[in-house]
A and B are shown apart, each in its own frame.
Chain A
């Protein structure tokens, strides 16, 4: 699936966050978007994930050359992991099962997929634990498991390692690396950390003045 972003603008109050922002995400692998705080990275991801509308400009998803309708079907092929995971007030496994349940999947299929996703992020032994008792690093991994269990074609990760320890950062980077290698999803993530961008990014982008200004192919 390809994503074309053309001349997008977004303003909150008097502040223009995205200003004539364009880019074509047509490669597989991991795109890393860098930029200072408040430069519009998160807004850009939310718009691309169809969670909020842009003010102007166009956003189009293409599959085998066909433009896709921006409806719930397309939205369910994309997933965004938030910087602060909104954890449901229940157990770890039920958190991961949520997205599958609302898609009406069979109970046995859900159970199998949840176990696989939790094992993939190293939370298998904590499946039955209450999700709000996890550490912040584990919570972030739960957010990733909750997203990847849905097998999205495009996975957006908004600052996936912000404010978590080195060990969990390493685990998350390795999860991203494995997913990228296996070609499970096109990954578009934001980070502040240039070293991390070098470690996990196939394509590095910089957002400045509300635009994706330059790109640096690895």
Chain B
């Protein structure tokens, strides 16, 4: 019990003394997950919009596939990316394995179905009358689509925030493709796993506290966005 308490005290000391190693790890985590989220949004938003707005053969199958992929196990993604980026893999020549780039790729793959599926859901839930109403008021097809996006804005923001929450807390995929190299690929979740193994609880606890705080902030933001969307659609 004493060791847990002293671990917490030392963890807070690390946080309040702005420990360089600790903040280096936090910064890298935010960079990797942030860039993964940007990539997932750039790809997922148009994909989700296409699934929501267009009718094409195989659409239902594509929607089911995207919904299934939302629950992708991170270790499976890690294994998949590892095989592609390893020396014998099809992208092995790029030499990206055990680098932050490999971690960004893995997290992008994890975030992409979440952004796509939730954006699709936000768009299909827009009242069909909105498209017709904007057309009656003289909107071009592009302006009609923009009107739908505007209506779905809270749902789209929620999708992006939810994907960020998922990748920030993820450990399996980045551990496999990043390798947990100190000062290079070591992020919050992988450090917690490693330091716990080593019995070095203070750094693990400090990162755990920060990860929890970040998770709380993401969820508070998500709740606020969803609440705003609910209030304005009443």
A interface residues (Cβ-Cβ under 8 A, vs B): 49, 51, 72, 75-76, 79-82, 84-90, 98-99, 102-103, 130, 132-133, 146-147, 150
Contact = CB atoms under 8 A, between A and B. Distances in A.
Interface stretch (B20-28, B130-138, B217-225): B130-138
24 contacts: A49-B136, A51-B136, A79-B136, A79-B138, A81-B136, A82-B136, A84-B129, A85-B129, A85-B133, A86-B130, A86-B132, A86-B134, A88-B130, A88-B133, A88-B147, A88-B150, A89-B150, A89-B151, A102-B138, A103-B138, A130-B232, A132-B232, A147-B137, A150-B137
A49 B137 CA distance: 10
Nearest to A96: B137
Given A86-B129, A88-B151, A132-B233, A76 B138 contact: yes
Nearest to A133: B234
Contacts of A87: 133
A66 B232 CA distance: 46
B140 interface: yes
Given A88-B147, A102-B143, A72 B133 contact: no
Interface string B100-132: 000000000000000000000000000101111
Nearest to A76: B138
Shortest 3 CB-CB contacts between residues of A and residues of B: A86-B129, A86-B133, A99-B137
A75 B133 contact: no
A130 B232 CA distance: 7
A86 B233 contact: no
Interface of B is mostly: helix
Contacts of B234: 132-133
Contacts of B233: 89, 132
Contacts of B139: 102
Nearest to B144: A102
B144 to A, nearest CB: 10
Contacts of A79: 136-138
A49 B131 CA distance: 15
Contacts of B135: 51
Contacts of B232: 89-90, 130, 132
A132 B234 CA distance: 6
Interface string B76-116: 00000000000000000000000000000000000000000
A99 to B, nearest CB: 4
Nearest to A152: B138
A49 B234 CA distance: 30
Contacts of A150: 137-138
B137 A102 contact: yes
Interface string B139-168: 110010001001100000000000000000
A99 B129 contact: no
Contacts of B143: 102
Contacts of A75: 138
B135 to A, nearest CB: 6
B87 to A, nearest CB: 52
B225 to A, nearest CB: 13
Given A88-B147, A130-B232, A147 B140 contact: no
A81 B129 CA distance: 12
